[in-house]
């Protein structure tokens, strides 16, 4: 199990600031599992309008952060695919359980359901502390 620091994530996925939504990979096991961290500081661009009086991280961006962690796992597992764009094919059973606000740290746990050729199905959960904030089943395809 390896750790991937923030400055190394760009080796695996093409996302960059301000849309890179993972700060660190704390655990990764090829074709099986990844755990990623996002420190929500409050200075992120989306808080300017969502919502100025009571900032909340948009749920779709929590799912995007989980997808970026899954994409890192996919390209870590298959080095020939590194740097390629990974496209969503499906988002299923998405549930938002707890708002994510400035000062929170999100811990995303992504477990592989199926990895076949360029198609990946994963089950993702995002936690703030011990509380489940979001969960979803994601399907993605590695593109060109």
Asked whether residue 54 is domain-assigned, the answer is: yes
Report pLDDT for 105: 99
Return the sign of the alpha-carbon dihedral for residues 55, 72, 93, 109.
Answer: negative
Asked whether residue 1 is domain-assigned, the answer is: no
Residue where the block lists tokens 């929590």: 62
Span 1-28, pLDDT tens digits: 689 999 999 999 999 999 999 999 999 9
Report how far apart the first and last C-alpha atoms of the chain are (Å, whole number). 28
Kindly report the CATH number assigned to the domain that includes residue 91.
3.10.129.10
How many structural domains are present in the chain? 1
Asked whether residue 134 is domain-assigned, the answer is: yes
Asked whether residue 27 is domain-assigned, the answer is: yes
Report pLDDT for 2: 86
Report pLDDT for 65: 98
Residue 15 appears among annotated catalytic residues:
no
Asked whether residue 109 is domain-assigned, the answer is: yes
Contact 28, 91 (CB under 8 A): no
Asked whether residue 114 is domain-assigned, the answer is: yes
Catalytic residue chosen out of the listed positions 6, 15, 17, 50: 50
Asked whether residue 24 is domain-assigned, the answer is: yes
Asked whether residue 41 is domain-assigned, the answer is: yes
Domain of 76?
Answer: 6-142
Span 83-138, pLDDT tens digits: 789 999 999 999 999 999 999 999 999 999 999 989 999 999 999 999 999 999 99
Span 65-74, pLDDT tens digits: 999 999 999 9
Neighbours of 57 (CB within 10 A): 26
pLDDT (mean) for 77-82: 90
Report pLDDT for 64: 98
Report pLDDT for 5: 96
pLDDT (mean) for 43-50: 92
Confidence of residue 144 (pLDDT cuts 50, 70, 90): low
């Amino acid at each position: 199990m390896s750790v991937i620091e923030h400055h190394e994530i760009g080796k695996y996925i093409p996302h960059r600031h301000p849309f890179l939504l993972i700060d660190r990979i704390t655990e990764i096991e090829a074709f099986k599992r990844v755990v990623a961290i996002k420190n929500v500081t409050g200075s992120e661009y989306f808080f300017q309008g969502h919502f100025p009086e009571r900032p909340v991280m948009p749920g779709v961006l929590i799912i995007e952060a989980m997808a970026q962690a899954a994409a890192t796992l996919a390209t870590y597992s298959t080095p020939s695919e590194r740097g390629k764009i990974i496209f969503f094919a499906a988002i299923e059973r998405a549930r938002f359980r707890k708002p994510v606000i400035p000062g929170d740290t999100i811990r995303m746990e992504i477990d592989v359901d199926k990895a076949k050729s360029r198609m990946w199905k994963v089950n993702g959960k995002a936690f703030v502390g011990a509380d489940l904030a979001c969960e979803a089943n994601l399907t993605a395809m590695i593109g060109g």
